[in-house]
């Protein structure tokens, strides 16, 4: 697939499970809406039965996992659709500057963007931002690496 062929409509048509190493019930993103080599965006509606909902709100852990899975969706899409390789399991190496401004209630539609700041030797340093109706809910810098231990076809 050529980068010029990647449209939002095409991305929305992809089953997110095909680009993530995580599977139900631990999937915290629903739709990949933007892909570029240096950025990705997902959308997710928070449902009451989500494992990381606590007292009617998506938890701090849920917001972080949502950012990490947005990174995973970017890498998984690249591996599967650009390189024609299997989706690889990733590992969070570090989180810094994690700020939560508000926990979203059940029913919220989250838009999460991850911008890659640097990639080197299989490590990715990215800045994540979770928004709801344009309001920033959480931000963080995340260091991720692809694991040597696993691939999912």
For the segment 53-93, what is each residue's pLDDT rounded down to a tens digit? 999 999 999 999 999 999 999 999 999 999 999 988 888 89
Domain that holds residue 145: 3-152
Predicted structure pTM score = 0.92
Whichever domain contains 113, its CATH number is 3.10.129.10
Residue 119: how many other CB atoms lie within 10 Å: 14
Cα–Cα dist 66/28, whole Å = 5
Name the E strands within the chain: 31-36, 39-45, 53-54, 57-58, 87-100, 109-120, 123-132, 135-152
Cα–Cα dist 52/50, whole Å = 5
Count of domains forming the chain? 1
Residue 151: its pLDDT value, please? 44
Q: pLDDT of 88-117, one tens digit each?
A: 888 889 999 999 999 999 999 999 999 999
């Amino acid at each position: 697939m050529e980068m010029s062929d990647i449209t939002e409509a095409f991305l929305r048509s992809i089953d997110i499970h095909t680009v993530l190493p995580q599977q139900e019930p631990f999937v915290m993103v629903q739709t990949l809406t933007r892909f570029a080599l240096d950025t990705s965006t997902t959308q997710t509606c928070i449902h009451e039965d989500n494992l990381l909902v606590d007292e009617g709100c998506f938890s701090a852990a849920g917001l972080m996992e949502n950012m990490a899975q947005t990174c995973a969706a970017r890498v998984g899409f690249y591996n599967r659709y650009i390189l024609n390789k299997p989706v690889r399991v990733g590992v969070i190496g570090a989180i810094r500057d994690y700020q939560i401004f508000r926990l979203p209630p059940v029913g919220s539609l989250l838009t999460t963007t991850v911008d890659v700041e640097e990639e080197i030797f299989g490590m990715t340093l990215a800045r994540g931002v979770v928004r709801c109706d344009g309001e920033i809910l959480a931000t963080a810098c995340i260091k991720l690496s692809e694991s040597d231990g696993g691939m999912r076809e």
